[in-house]
Chain A
Amino acid sequence: MDAYFYVILVVGLLSTVICAVAGILKKAPNDVTILSVAAVELALLVYLVGSIVRVVAGEPIAGEAWEFWGYLLTALLLPVAAVYWSILERTRWSNFVLAAVGVTALVMAARMNQIWY
């Protein structure tokens, strides 16, 4: 597991906890929960840019390259989709949808690390 994974681990879990707690407290999605999901997106973007740089620099991906990029691009779509949905219906349940993004990104980052090394 590399630094990218650990950054997503921390940011993702933090975002999940923030959003889940907000949902339990019966709050609608607000700046804090949406920004925490935006932080997950940012962490994934850093992973994307970092990975492109590494590939350009000549570092090989051990597993299937297209599988790695597939995971990464799908993961990048999740926060966007979740935030869009949470804006459409602003209830506490949308915070649980937002909470799902962090853990899902974490699981996908773990898989991406497995593919890379």
Chain B
Amino acid sequence: MTATSSKHTAKKPADTRNTGPGRLLIAVYAVFAISATARAGYQILTKFSEAPLAYLLSAFAALVYVVATVSLAKPGRTWFRVSLIAVLVELVGVVVVGALSIFDAVQFPHETVWSLFGRGYAFIPLILPVLGLVWLYRRRPAPHKA
């Protein structure tokens, strides 16, 4: 219960994001990291020539999820920045690829995690970065002393 009560205070004694709700976030990111990596690996190894762009995107998405999972689990200011970048890239990725997969179905005929805004994954890929940003904002490191 300590994590829940300390969540609302602005200043954090320890600069970590891997407790309380953060653990759920990391767990979901980990599941996506595993499934996206496995899927991208499978696509690239067995049918890469069918849709190189889509499958490279799959691999890129997988990499983003892996980086997000690891960085969220690590304490410290640097890992906070890595998390922030990874989650922002994820958000941009799911929005851009989601839109492209609707408007340019010729280039993106093959499914990736981010196709159709993550519809194949119950839209979790779209919700996850938003929750990630909220969590990172709440657990942002104290500003540098001026």
The answer to whether A91 touches B3, judged by C-beta atoms less than 8 angstroms apart, is yes
Residues of A with C-beta under 8 A to B27: 82, 85, 97, 100
Q: Which of B18-26, B51-59, B64-72, B81-89 makes up part of the contact surface?
A: B18-26
Distance in angstroms between the alpha carbons of A85 and B124 in the assembled complex: 22
- Chain B interface helix/strand/loop/mixed: helix
Q: How many Å from the CB of B34 to the closest CB on chain A?
A: 6
Nearest CB to that of B34 among chain A residues? A74
The answer to whether A26 touches B24, judged by C-beta atoms less than 8 angstroms apart, is no
A67-91 contacts to B, CB under 8 A, are 67, 70, 74, 78, 82, 85, 89, 91
Question: B-facing mask of A87-117, CB < 8 A → 1, else 0?
Answer: 0010111101100100010000000000000
Q: Does B28 contact A (CB under 8 A)?
A: yes
The answer to whether A89 touches B3, judged by C-beta atoms less than 8 angstroms apart, is yes
Distance in angstroms between the alpha carbons of A110 and B42 in the assembled complex: 18
The answer to whether A89 touches B19, judged by C-beta atoms less than 8 angstroms apart, is yes
Q: Does B102 contact A (CB under 8 A)?
A: no
How extensive is the interface on chain B, given as a class?
10 to 19
Given contacts A26-B1, A92-B1, A100-B31, 17 further A-B contacts (CB under 8 A): A26-B4, A67-B42, A82-B27, A85-B23, A89-B23, A91-B2, A91-B4, A91-B20, A92-B4, A93-B3, A93-B4, A93-B20, A93-B22, A93-B24, A96-B21, A96-B24, A100-B28
Question: A-facing mask of B7-40, CB < 8 A → 1, else 0?
Answer: 0000000000001111110011001001000100
Residues of A with C-beta under 8 A to B31: 78, 100, 104
Q: How many Å from the CB of B141 to the closest CB on chain A?
A: 21
